[in-house]
Amino acid sequence: MSASHPSDDLREPPVRRNLFYLLLAYLCTGLGVLGAFLPVLPTTPFLLLAAWSAARGSPALHRWLYAHPRFGAPLIAWERNRAVPVSAKILSTVFMTISWLIMLWRTDTLLVPVVTGVLFLAVAAYLLTRPSS
């Protein structure tokens, strides 16, 4: 009889885990591509998540993302230097500010804009302190 670890039966089978990463990679790639054309949908966070999940579920998609003429350079800049393009910093900060102002204008309570404002400030501070690519 072999001794088994108590958590062995709680682990996902590798096939199921790979399928999850594969589906997440393709979903995020699709959202990232849409974000390249729609100004209200961000591209970079979805592509970063797609690259991360593709490395675990689809080596071919991972290679394609890094070799892509439009998406490859920001992914490489992030991987090497944790750098964010200046245009992404500006756009994200502007859209967070606009979103927050609309929320402040349309919300009856101050709780939601205050909590969201703190979150947006934290995200903006993080982005603006990253190196520029």
**In a shared domain, residues 20 and 74:** yes
The structural domain count of the chain equals 2
User: How far, in Å, CA of 48 to CA of 4, rounded?
Assistant: 37
pLDDT at 7: 47
> What span, in angstroms and rounded, lies between the C-alpha atoms of 114 and 100?
9
Q: What is the DSSP string of 58-106?
A: -HHHHHHHHH-TTTHHHHHHHHHH--B-HHHHHHHHHHHHHHHHHHHHH
Number of residues in the chain:
133
Whole-number pLDDT of residue 87: 83
Q: Find the domain containing 92 and state its range.
A: 86-129
Is 3 within the bounds of a domain?
no
Per-residue pLDDT of the chain (133 residues; tens, 9 = 90+): 445 555 444 455 567 778 999 999 999 999 999 988 887 777 888 999 999 999 999 899 999 999 999 889 889 988 999 998 888 888 889 989 999 999 999 999 999 999 999 999 999 999 999 999 7
| Per-residue pLDDT, 111 | 94
- Please give the Cα distance from 76 to 65 (Å, whole number): 10
